[in-house]
Structure 1
Amino acid sequence: MMASSLYFVIFLFLSILQEMYATVTMHGIGEYIFPNVCYIMTCSYEIPIEDRITVYNILDENNNGVASFTVRYLNSTGQCFYRNPSYVPCKPEVCSCDTDGHATHFCYYHTSSFNGTLTIACFSGSSDNIKVKVAERYNLKGSPQNLKVGEKANITLSCATIEQYVKWQRKTLTIAVITGIAANGSCLFSGTPNPLYWYTCDPNTYIYNISISVAVEDQLQNTQWGCGPLVGDGSSMFRFSVNVPVTSLTITPAVTNDIINVAEGQTQTFTCTTDSCRPAAWIQWYIGTLNITNQAEAQTHQQDGEKFISSSRLVYTWRQDDHNKYIYCEAINIDGVQKIKSSKIRIYIQSDFILTGSDPFIINDQPFTLNCSSNVAPRGEVAYFYKDNISTINIRYIPSTSTCYGIPQDGKPVFQCNDTCSCSEDARIFTWTYNGTVTNQRVTFKCEMDFGTDQRNVTYREVTVERAFNMTPPITSDAPTREPDAPSNVFVVCKEMSMTVFWRPGFNGDDIQKFKVLHVNNQTNQTTTSQFMPDQGGAETMMLTIESLDPETLYIVSVQASNTHGTVASENVNCTTSSGLALKESDKISAVGIGAGIGSAMLIFGITSIAVFFYKKRRDTIKEQSAMYEATQYSSDGGVNIYNELQHAGTDSSIPDQSSSDTSIYYNESGIMTNRNTEHYQNINRTKEEPALQNHDPPMYLDLNIQNVA
């Protein structure tokens, strides 16, 4: 152990001093050291020295000393000595020195049990070292190291052995059997060797070689070669490493015509995938000439037999600068091989453009103006207008002349824009005024915009407007133009999942007014607004039915009126939708309620008459009954019957005035009460003086028109 440590210390010491002396070079006679076979190691010097001492140190893989030898050369006398343990003259089979003093040779016999790689160093003023593997019985390796599928290559297999007999194999087939080396250095064979191979034998290095020219295929990766004894174990096996280059690269998602339409700030995910290759590939991403690989996720490599499928995922947020550039990926897995590129996808950044109309309503043969505008770069060059999906006109801006041209799509000639179309250079606003026939209730206009690429923007903006029927001139008055009066007389009839809203329009402010209905779900606090409805030109009452409501839900309803001067709203009206059960049973309950009400009315009337006859003088006759209306009732088919006027009689201050006249409205109403017990009632000719005869248990009651009798 102390000797091993001493060898190591000497080796380090010599290494530190190496720069103080001339350069030395260490080399050996072959790639392997065979046990108990002379391995000649040589230490060469840059310049001769009169009295030169050369030290050889041999270390194992843990830098433990295995052996150490010292050779001394006297240049003046040409004598060569080695220490054993004192200096004795070198014997030819042990050591030698060149007569010019430039090299010292030593024959090393490896007798240690160590079978790894040895470090052999020499020191003579400076130092150098080599690494040599201790040979097995047979030692096989092949070259070149990196074969590539598809190329033509000359492959060589070298078998290092001190054995006389060498059997060459490919898989399980014998290629040749070498029985020795002739005096001229040629190989001696047993039988006839495979003529497709070349054979060489070197008695000095104990190396036996076979070579063959092959077209490299993937199957060569799995081909096993061997050299070994004629029989028994001990063969050395070898496989070539065959590289399979990337041949194709796929980028997804696939796009039409290799163009992708995106918006600035939009995030897009791309994946780049190779075909099967070996080794795994390295993938890089580009937009234009800019490498953006650092923005991609970590690459993955999926095993495919003895090959790999490499994949890279890029999540990218588009920028305006990406417009008109290309996104693609590249892959390479073998140095010196040309990179493989995916298909290139052209990036089209859609500008943020909008389409607006001059009014929510369109009138037959009246001008209606549309603005298709883009306010960010890249700005539009052409706007394509459609009416109900029929191409109608293209409007093109010519920057060189700052002019705008209309291109009708019905065969009419091109014209320079005037009153019917225009362009704005600054904001790229394309304006088209439609003045034609309107036959549908709704008209949809669409605008596509070309931003100067060879492919038109496949997306579009559209706007739908309602046709206004029977438009009447606005109501005029002596008052100045102002916002309209709030709608009045708002009342609501609710069903299970719908409601019908009635209202009376007010003064329009000497301007065209329009209406919309708002209803708030009291449970969710969600507000829903209808589309605008045009004023129906002097109609006393307007109505709107709203569908898709929640049953058994309280809704708060209001009606808004708007003109160019402002918006006003009516007072809120509450309405509760009914349950499904109440609607189905309503006819039965209403019939029972009406029958019970009439019977009770006759009974009470009779009792009252007898009492008056016996206890009082005749009084004035009962006043004539005023007026009766039959209110909205639910029918079995779910329809709604609007109030039917029965008669008018007198006035009653307890009934809200429903019109400008002093005629009161009396009505008969049967319906569903707005509570969860769905109580039904009948209300017949009620006046302020009447006693309220009501019974809430059972949940039906009767309220009769009983007048006070003196």
Structure 2
Amino acid sequence: MMCFKLNTFFIGDRRYNQCIKFIKCQKEAKYKYKCLIRMLKIYWTSEGKTVFLLISNAIWCSIYLTRLWRPPLLRRGAQSTSTEYYEEGSDVCLNFSLDDLHQTTVFMKRDNRTICITTDKSNAYMIPINWENRTFTCSVSEMGFSVCFENFQRTDTGLFSVNVSYTTINSISIKQAVPVEYVAMSVTSIRMVAGTLISLSCLTSYCIPPANVTWYKSSVDMTNHYGSIFANSGGLMRTILAFQIRLVKEDNGKPVFCKASNIHGKDVLSSLIILNVLYKPEVESNTPNPYRLIEGNTVILMCTVTTANPNTSITWKWIRTDSPATALHNGSKYTILNIQRGSSGSYSCTASNSVGTSDAATILLDVQFKPSIEIKQCMTVNETDRVVLTRNIYSNPLANVSWFDGTQLLQTQTSVNTTSFIIETVLCTDTKNFTLVASNTVQSNVTSRVELIVNCKPTVEKTNISVGVGDASGLEFSSTVIAYPRPQYVLEYEDGTKNNGMTDTLTWNSVNNFTIHFKKNVANPYDYGLYQLRISNVFGNTVIYVNVFPKRRPDSPRNVEVTCNVKGVTLKWKSSFNGGDPQTFTVYAVNGHQNTHSYPVLDKGENKIHQALLQNLQPSLTYVFYVSAQNSHGNISSDVKSCAKLEETKDLTGVVVGVVGGLLALVIGICVIVVIVHRRYACSWSCDIKFVKRNMNTAREDATDTHITERENTER
């Protein structure tokens, strides 16, 4: 029987050991056994007799053993000796393995003196033999042979052996253990720069058996990476554990220590050493990155130290990353007053202590400013060239640009720093100042003038000029010329000779716009006639024909149109030559009951459409309309037109009656017109009047077509 003691207790003066008896065990896996066991209680009588009391029946159970004592299996004839250490006062239990014992007598001896005997390993227990006042408890089982005793003393040291047939096959030497008393580290403080590799060691007191030593950083066992050496002195051993640490910033403030033990459950610890790891500062900036602000403002850049050891005597340095050799400021806060666009870029701050200089914290400074447009000299090109007008736009952020010709929008581009406007075929009239407008989020509508000059030959709006000359009046005329460069001119008679009798001036209206003006204070009949005004420059020439004649009354207005509606009557006509003198127009409306006329209408020029509105006319009556043109030399009338002003209601029955009565008065009205219009002239009129009968079914008034043919006598 082999019995493993669990605990010891007393009932009165009697001492009991409670143990487990292993009857049979089978190995199932590493550290796992399936065993048949019983629970026993053992005590000793006053006569020294051992009594076993059964506590439980045999049961199977699974047992996990992480440190299972398994003596070597010894065959007869083999011999092995091991040493075990025990602390004074502890209980001792020695175990031996026998694998081929059958009926052989087995002797358990101490220093060759028998303490237990068994003849069969099937015996439940063995009767111990008292020896030198020491009681040994012996047992045998399927697992082997064991002997135990209590309260180990120094005098209990010796050699315990198992003998079969007078041969020692297994022995254990037991010795007194000397506990390790202390373990100390080789240094008392550690203050090193991060990255340093330091060597340390742990040293124990002399003890036996040699102590196992481990070292820790915080609570992490670091021993697996290093080995131990031992020193012997008088049979006692001391352990020296050497190890190395590569210090890192994160080690700062962590404790390191050693632990030593040579008796199970009894450990000693070294003093704690707090690592003081020195390292350079680390910095950060809470300034927005990128930092955007408008030109002219004040900017404050901030940096702070997040960690450093030592965290005193910190020095600062600000630089611009594109000029690292130039220190801008020494301090954690860098202020820039009235910042300008040239200050845009990356700025870096660093902090230094006695260990070194931090990595830089970098801030991108983005100075935003309003657009400015590149100024260039005007571009001069030849007519029909392809022109590309280009300007650089300086702005942050990029600008949106628009090209204008006066108020006319020509082109728009977004987010550009260069803009172009293209004219595929340039004309002389493209000589002008274009307006370029740029805008961004800082400022809108920044403008610049882009000047284009087109080289071209002279051109005029009119190549024929009629100049009327009054009695005892002067002679004066002018013409506007478009040309570049400045044109030259000469006024010639029809035969090609130069006229020197008039005063001439050239007025420069704009880059390519000129006015040529001729004047003679007193005109004579010999000044009448046809002249040629020749205008030229290096790119070509043009000719204006000038006809000088005596002033007369205007020519008759043409293409008269009459529109009658509810609100009134509208007349339109085209003007004719004014006779060389400024003319005005008057619109007349005549019927048998009412004569009315418009306010004077100013002349817009020859062959221009004019218009007048007559109101307050009687509805449903037919009126005769004509346009009179007049100047200081007389007047003349247009052809006559007629129509009836409409009523505001759709019932037109009364209109029919009015038309019949009005037609009779029409002839009388025409005669009155002749008298009024041609007071100064002898005229002969013939009037052909055609009447069209009214369609009563549609209640519409047919127009009366009146045509007056004038035969005018010559005034002279």
Category of TM-score, reference length = shorter chain = under 0.3
Higher strand share: 2
Give the number of the structure whose alpha-carbon radius of gyration is greater: 2
Tell me the TM-score normalised to structure 2 length: 0.25
So what's the TM-score if we normalise by structure 1? 0.25
